[in-house]
Structure 1
Amino acid sequence: MARKKFAMLNVSLLNSAAFRSLRSCTDRNVYFTAHLSSQADYSGLFRYPRSLFASEAGITEEQLQVSVQRLNDAQLLEYDSEVELLRISGWFRSINCPDNLSRVQNLAQGYLSGELPTTDICRRSIAEFVLGCLARAQRFKAGSEHGPKIVDEIRAFLATAGVVFRNLRPFLEEEFREYGASVAREFEDVMLGLVEAEAKMQRAADRIQMQEAIRVAAGCDQGGDTLPPQEKREDSKNTKKDKMAFADDFTATGEIDGNQAGKSARPLAATLNSPLVRALRASA
Structure 2
Amino acid sequence: MMMILLLILLLSFFHVTMIDYLYNNPTYYQLDAYTYESDDFRSMRLGNLIAESGPLDYDLLTSLMIEHNYDLTDVKDTACHTDRLLAVKPAEYRKLKQAYETVLGDLKFFPIPDNTNAASPPVTFENGWMDKRTYGGERGHEGCDIMGTERPRGYYPVVSMSDGIVEKVGWLEKGGWRIGIRAPGGAYLYYAHLYGYSRQWQEGDAVKAGELLGFMGDTGYSTVEGTTGNFEVHLHVGIYMKTDHEDEMSLNPYWVLKYLQKYRLKYSY
TM range (shorter): under 0.3
TM-score by length of 2: 0.25
Q: Which has the higher strand share?
A: 2
Q: Which has the larger radius of gyration?
A: 1
